[in-house]
Chain A
Amino acid sequence: MARVLINFAHPALEKSRVHSQLMRVVKKIPGITFNDLYEQYPDLDINVAREQQLLEQHDIIFMQHPFYWYSAPAIVKQWMDLVLEHGWAYGHTGKALTGKYFGNIISAGGAEHSYSAEGHHQHTIREFLLPFIQTAKLCNMHYAAPFVLYGVHRQDVSDIQEDAAQLQQVLERLRDDKFDLTPLPGLDYLNQIIQLPAQTQ
């Protein structure tokens, strides 16, 4: 069993349609740790020791958040600044995270094709995620592909439920070591692993 951690960040969940739905589903999956950052640290005063311990205890780490301004809500930055300490996460002696997988589970307002060189946002999601990708690399982790929900403003409740089911499937398969993780960094989206062949064990 791979141990999966979801660091969740949403400052106004009461207004959110997508993430409240996703959260409801994800929280119920047994064997997955759901860490609700804004609920834990409403004053943004992050307990570094606790967060580092959580990271050490897991193999696959996701940051789940809305894709505000091509990035993440403020607490995610705070979390990265404080938790990924020099000498622990990176640097000569910072090996605590070596070999782990790191990724984002994000919701974006625009449609998939708007995130392209020709599209409204002129860059792909992966390009926008560069700070996360490089952070993972610096901390000796593999950046797994992102799980992206596009065009959420247009989605109906049924669309969202479908997305949530898909995310559940992905997470369960990761948890159950259903397949080899090595090709993960090569994928465009984590959503695609459902199509990967199951690992023969």
Chain B
Amino acid sequence: MDQHSLLFQAMVYLAAAIVFVPIAKKMGLGAVLGYLIAGIIIGPSLLGFIGREGEDIMHFAEFGVVMMLFLIGIELEPALLWRLRSSILGLGGLQVILSAAAIAGIAYLIGQPLNTSLALGMILSLSSTAIVLQTLNEKGWMGTSAGQSAFSVLLFQDIAVIPMLAIFPLLAGNATPDTTTHAASLRDNLPGWGQTLVVLGAVATIIIAGRYLVRPLMRIIARTRVRELFTATALLMVVAIAVLMNLVGLSSALGAFLGGVVLANSEYRHELESDIEPFKGLLLGLFFIAVGASIDFRLIMQQPWLIMGLVVGIMALKGIVLLMLGKIFKLSTDQNLLFAFALADIGEFAFVLLSFTHQTRLMSEEMTAMMTAVVAISMALTPLIMLLYEKVIQPHYTRSEAKAERAADEINEKNAVIIAGFGRFGSMTGRFLRANGINATILDLDSDRVDALHNLGIKVYYGDASRYDLLAAAGAADAKMLIIATDHAEQTLEIVKMAQRYFPHLQLLVRAENNEDTFELMDLGVLHIYRETVDTSLRVGVDALRMLGNRAYRSERAARTFLRQDERTLKGLSALRDDKKQYITSMKERIEEMQKLIASDREKTWLDEGQGWDPETLRDEIRGEKSDEV
């Protein structure tokens, strides 16, 4: 592929995504379906912009799945994973075994040879991690008990692919392992115990590197303050894991997931997340487009009923197994339906396994092509049946118990408060909130400080809060307020604009360095502005007044009155400044402004505030009267 056609292809894919995803979103179909439709339309069956190379692209884009699992891992704390262990092994294990057995049994009964039946059972028992998780995320269902159960099952399936790859050659009856899909694995020439050792070694490498290598590396990268190096490091990490996993013959998705989990507690978690996220999104999009494009409509047209019958039959069979399991694992009816609907499809691993079965001569070419079509159609149907669930079934169960149960978890994981900047200003606010039982998600740009705080067990993340993706990763969509305590005025303004544009629900509490910043923040419509030295200066003033013999209470009141008055004057000056469309920049103008402020101070007589106590007027009135009635 020369450069020209590569660029042309990129243009076609990107344009298709940009045209169809918003349309699908607008129609309430979701992004995944949008990508699939885009793929079908630009694919060989319709417009023919892309031809057979769609499958190559699909293999390339499968790396999006690896990235997605890395991201899922990084959002999943090891403790949570441990909590899910019984549903991963129990629910996931039973799903794979029962579905595989049921499908294999039926295939055998309708006359397929035993080994082909078993291969079919295993292939078709898997579900699509990419489509299911993406759709669950998109609809916000990951936190529900159905979402968690689906996730557990998918995780188990990812693990199960490894033994399946090992079993297929045995089923085919020839022990020569295939080398085209899983090229030159290190394990191949080793005895059994050596293979185990190599696998364990690879896993240990990921864990140890994640624990002890990544943090110092990230710190060094952070010190360079070159943004793109971070992205490069993040990508390198995922790619390196994938290479290592391929080398020892393990699933790279699984390795990436493990790597993610190891880094889940790292202070660089949000930064890594936001660096990988766009790549993952694009690659997954590409993957879905490729799935759409790979649907061979000619084949379907030849045997439409057989293929549709197979799709419906397999999905129904898987659905029934899932419903049964959901019942055993005590999912409520609506959650159980969601669980079954989500996982009834056949996953992208089927493509890999199908080409593998073809190579091992477990299936005829014709059958492989047909099954590929069945898999692609079932994947394309998944977002549709999830949509059906959302629009038709879910409304019947509006008061879902699962939501109520899971609410606490959500709060644990996502803080209501985000503090941007944890220097001398933000740290005080953060400590105060923490002392009052409110944990904030902290974003800071000083890697040394991030390390130190992390060691104290405080949740702090490295990154520039004026980046949309980092704010999103920090949970801005679910947070209540954003406290902006950054040092630099420009950065503060950037964060404010970003937050106002993309997270308008956030309450903004903003630190301002001086009056100039305050004016700019006022212009942006920020309601809660805190000039950093005002309170301290006034506290000095209060103490001075007290030491000069004034009453403490009066001094405090005077300070508060002064502050109110000062803020009023500042607002007036801000309005004046807007009228004149002028920006105070020179020192001379700044001094003039101060003069205005001071002049306004003298006009006010706050010493007389608190007229209610011992009013002079009352005394005058009484003294003026002859009667002593009062």
CA of A13 to CA of B552 in the docked complex: distance in angstroms? 10
B441 at the interface (CB under 8 A from A): no
Complex contact A16–B629 (CB within 8 A): no
The listed residue (B553, B557, B614, B629) touching A114 by CB distance below 8 A is B629
A70 at the interface (CB under 8 A from B): no
Complex contact A153–B613 (CB within 8 A): no
CA of A15 to CA of B628 in the docked complex: distance in angstroms? 23
Complex contact A153–B551 (CB within 8 A): no
The listed residue (A12, A38, A40, A111) touching B614 by CB distance below 8 A is A12
B619 at the interface (CB under 8 A from A): yes
A-B contact sample (19 more), CB < 8 A, given A13-B554, A109-B630, A154-B628: A11-B610, A12-B554, A14-B551, A15-B613, A15-B614, A15-B616, A38-B551, A38-B553, A40-B552, A42-B557, A66-B613, A73-B613, A109-B618, A109-B622, A111-B630, A114-B630, A151-B628, A153-B618, A154-B623
Complex contact B619–A39 (CB within 8 A): no
Complex contact A154–B622 (CB within 8 A): yes
Complex contact B622–A39 (CB within 8 A): no
User: For residues 597 through 627 of chain B, which have their beta carbon under 8 Å from a beta carbon of chain A?
Assistant: 610, 613-614, 616, 618-619, 622-623
Q: Given A14-B551, A39-B553: A66 and B614 within 8 A (CB)? A: yes
Please classify how large the interface on chain A is, using the bins under 10, 10 to 19, 20 to 34, 35 or more.
20 to 34
B487 at the interface (CB under 8 A from A): no
Complex contact A42–B623 (CB within 8 A): no
Q: Given A114-B629, A120-B629, A154-B628: A42 and B555 within 8 A (CB)? A: yes
Q: Which residue of A lies closest to B560 (CB)?
A: A43
CA of A164 to CA of B622 in the docked complex: distance in angstroms? 22
Give the residues in chain B near A11, CB-CB below 8 Å: 553, 610, 613
Q: Which residue of A lies closest to B556 (CB)?
A: A42
| 5 nearest CB pairs, A to B | A42-B552, A12-B613, A38-B553, A42-B556, A42-B553
A residues sitting closer than 8 Å to B (CB atoms) are 11-16, 38-40, 42-43, 66, 68, 73, 109-111, 114, 120, 151, 153-154
CA of A114 to CA of B630 in the docked complex: distance in angstroms? 6
Can you list 8 A-B pairs, Cβ within 8 angstroms, ordered by A?
A: A13-B551, A38-B552, A40-B552, A42-B557, A111-B630, A120-B629, A153-B618, A154-B628
Q: What distance in Å separates the Cβ of B372 from its nearest Cβ neighbour in chain A?
A: 73
CA of A12 to CA of B615 in the docked complex: distance in angstroms? 10
Q: What distance in Å separates the Cβ of A14 from its nearest Cβ neighbour in chain B?
A: 6
CA of A154 to CA of B623 in the docked complex: distance in angstroms? 6
Complex contact A153–B623 (CB within 8 A): yes
Q: Given A15-B614, A120-B630: A153 and B619 within 8 A (CB)? A: yes
Give the residues in chain B near A13, CB-CB below 8 Å: 551, 554
Complex contact B610–A12 (CB within 8 A): yes
B86 at the interface (CB under 8 A from A): no
CA of A66 to CA of B618 in the docked complex: distance in angstroms? 14
Q: Which residue of A lies closest to B613 (CB)?
A: A12
CA of A47 to CA of B146 in the docked complex: distance in angstroms? 52
Give the residues in chain B near A14, CB-CB below 8 Å: 550-551, 554
Q: Which residue of B lies closest to A37 (CB)?
A: B553
Q: Which residue of B lies closest to A19 (CB)?
A: B614
Complex contact B630–A16 (CB within 8 A): no
Q: What distance in Å separates the Cβ of B62 from its nearest Cβ neighbour in chain A?
A: 62
Q: What distance in Å separates the Cβ of A74 from its nearest Cβ neighbour in chain B?
A: 10
Q: What distance in Å separates the Cβ of B556 from its nearest Cβ neighbour in chain A?
A: 4
Give the residues in chain B near A73, CB-CB below 8 Å: 613
CA of A151 to CA of B625 in the docked complex: distance in angstroms? 13
The winner among B555, B610, B616, B622 for most chain A CB atoms within 10 A is: B622
CA of A153 to CA of B619 in the docked complex: distance in angstroms? 5
CA of A71 to CA of B31 in the docked complex: distance in angstroms? 69
Give the residues in chain A near B616, CB-CB below 8 Å: 15
CA of A14 to CA of B553 in the docked complex: distance in angstroms? 11
Complex contact B630–A110 (CB within 8 A): yes
Give the residues in chain A near B628, CB-CB below 8 Å: 111, 114, 151, 154
Q: Given A11-B613, A111-B628: A153 and B622 within 8 A (CB)? A: yes
Complex contact A39–B618 (CB within 8 A): no
Give the residues in chain A near B552, CB-CB below 8 Å: 38-40, 42
Q: What distance in Å separates the Cβ of A12 from its nearest Cβ neighbour in chain B?
A: 4
Give the residues in chain A near B614, CB-CB below 8 Å: 12, 15-16, 66
Give the residues in chain A near B553, CB-CB below 8 Å: 11, 38-39, 42
Q: What distance in Å separates the Cβ of A3 from its nearest Cβ neighbour in chain B?
A: 26
The winner among B619, B623, B630 for most chain A CB atoms within 10 A is: B630
CA of A109 to CA of B614 in the docked complex: distance in angstroms? 9
The winner among B553, B554, B616, B629 for most chain A CB atoms within 10 A is: B553
Give the residues in chain B near A109, CB-CB below 8 Å: 618, 622, 630
Give the residues in chain B near A66, CB-CB below 8 Å: 613-614
Complex contact B630–A68 (CB within 8 A): no
CA of A114 to CA of B553 in the docked complex: distance in angstroms? 32
Q: What distance in Å separates the Cβ of A116 from its nearest Cβ neighbour in chain B?
A: 12
Q: What distance in Å separates the Cβ of B542 from its nearest Cβ neighbour in chain A?
A: 8
Q: Which residue of B lies closest to A13 (CB)?
A: B551
User: For residues 535 through 559 of chain B, which have their beta carbon under 8 Å from a beta carbon of chain A?
Assistant: 550-557
Q: Given A11-B553, A153-B623: A68 and B613 within 8 A (CB)? A: yes
Q: What distance in Å separates the Cβ of A49 from its nearest Cβ neighbour in chain B?
A: 19
Q: What distance in Å separates the Cβ of A48 from its nearest Cβ neighbour in chain B?
A: 19
The winner among A16, A73, A154 for most chain B CB atoms within 10 A is: A154
User: For residues 345 through 384 of chain B, which have their beta carbon under 8 Å from a beta carbon of chain A?
Assistant: none
Give the residues in chain A near B619, CB-CB below 8 Å: 153
CA of A111 to CA of B610 in the docked complex: distance in angstroms? 25
CA of A153 to CA of B621 in the docked complex: distance in angstroms? 10
Q: What distance in Å separates the Cβ of A92 from its nearest Cβ neighbour in chain B?
A: 32
Q: What distance in Å separates the Cβ of A56 from its nearest Cβ neighbour in chain B?
A: 25
Give the residues in chain B near A110, CB-CB below 8 Å: 630
Q: What distance in Å separates the Cβ of A123 from its nearest Cβ neighbour in chain B?
A: 15
Q: Given A15-B613, A68-B613: A43 and B550 within 8 A (CB)? A: no
Give the residues in chain B near A16, CB-CB below 8 Å: 614
CA of A38 to CA of B618 in the docked complex: distance in angstroms? 23
Give the residues in chain A near B554, CB-CB below 8 Å: 12-14
CA of A104 to CA of B622 in the docked complex: distance in angstroms? 25
Give the residues in chain A near B557, CB-CB below 8 Å: 42
CA of A147 to CA of B141 in the docked complex: distance in angstroms? 71
Give the residues in chain A near B618, CB-CB below 8 Å: 109, 153
User: For residues 33 through 71 of chain B, which have their beta carbon under 8 Å from a beta carbon of chain A?
Assistant: none
CA of A154 to CA of B556 in the docked complex: distance in angstroms? 31
Q: Which residue of A lies closest to B607 (CB)?
A: A14
Q: What distance in Å separates the Cβ of B65 from its nearest Cβ neighbour in chain A?
A: 58
Q: Which residue of A lies closest to B621 (CB)?
A: A153
Give the residues in chain B near A40, CB-CB below 8 Å: 552
Q: Which residue of B lies closest to A38 (CB)?
A: B553
CA of A114 to CA of B627 in the docked complex: distance in angstroms? 11
Give the residues in chain B near A151, CB-CB below 8 Å: 628
